[in-house]
């Protein structure tokens, strides 16, 4: 739309169903490239994608041409279908229901990129669940612990 100017930076965080460590190191670059294409094909700007075997962090410049929930539905739905078509995992791959989305100012973007880039180092000190609770508290988001990325029962 003409004469529309925005600057919306979002960190998106979501997990593998039951937080299973199913994203293999040998396959993650291929998966991240596919997710990058999903985001770019919807005219958003991917700044970084990285994660661990059980979850992903993405930082994007979001365009106001699409709702966040619609974008997340495409990212999670298209990527899980793509993973299953390539039999990356034994059995059916699924993402956990829900996601986190956290907004940042332009001045915070370099720090968020560094944080996402260094996920392995970061998670040698803190588990994903604690990291996620810290984000929710930092952004003062009300939540019900019963619904936070359930682990295998």
CATH number for the domain harbouring residue 108: 3.30.70.1290
Indicate whether 39 belongs to any domain.
yes
CA distance linking residue 81 with residue 132, whole number of Å: 25
pTM: 0.92
Indicate whether 54 belongs to any domain.
yes
Indicate whether 1 belongs to any domain.
no
| pLDDT tens track for 42-97 | 999 999 999 999 999 999 999 999 999 999 999 999 999 999 999 999 889 999 99
Mean pLDDT of all residues in 12-23: 94
Instruction: Please give the structure tokens belonging to residue 151.
Output: 């682990």
Indicate whether 95 belongs to any domain.
yes
Predicted pLDDT of residue 63? 94
| Residue partners of 109: CB distance under 8 A and separation at least 6 | 9, 47, 59
Residue 135 burial (C-beta neighbours within 10 Å; 0-12, 13-18, 19+) = middle
Indicate whether 2 belongs to any domain.
no
Predicted pLDDT of residue 153? 54
**Total of domains in the chain:** 1
Residue 18: which domain range? 9-147
Contact status, residue 93 vs residue 22, Cβ threshold 8 Å: yes
pLDDT at 149 over 80: no
Contact status, residue 22 vs residue 70, Cβ threshold 8 Å: no
Angle CA(67)–CA(31)–CA(96) in degrees, nearest 5?
60
């Amino acid at each position: 739309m003409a004469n529309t100017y925005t600057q919306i930076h979002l960190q998106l965080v979501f997990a593998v169903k039951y937080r299973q460590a199913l994203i293999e190191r040998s396959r993650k670059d291929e998966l991240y490239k596919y997710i990058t294409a999903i985001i770019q094909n919807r005219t958003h700007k991917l700044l970084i994608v990285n994660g661990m075997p059980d979850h992903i962090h993405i930082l994007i410049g979001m365009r106001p041409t699409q709702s966040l929930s619609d974008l997340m539905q495409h990212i999670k739905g298209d990527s899980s279908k793509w993973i299953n078509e390539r039999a990356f995992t034994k059995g059916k791959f699924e993402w956990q229901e829900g996601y986190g989305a956290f907004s940042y100012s332009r001045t915070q973007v370099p720090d968020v990129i560094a944080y996402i880039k260094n996920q392995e180092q970061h998670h040698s000190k803190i588990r994903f669940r604690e990291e996620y609770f810290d984000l929710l508290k930092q952004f003062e988001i009300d939540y019900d612990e019963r619904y936070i990325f359930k682990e295998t029962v």
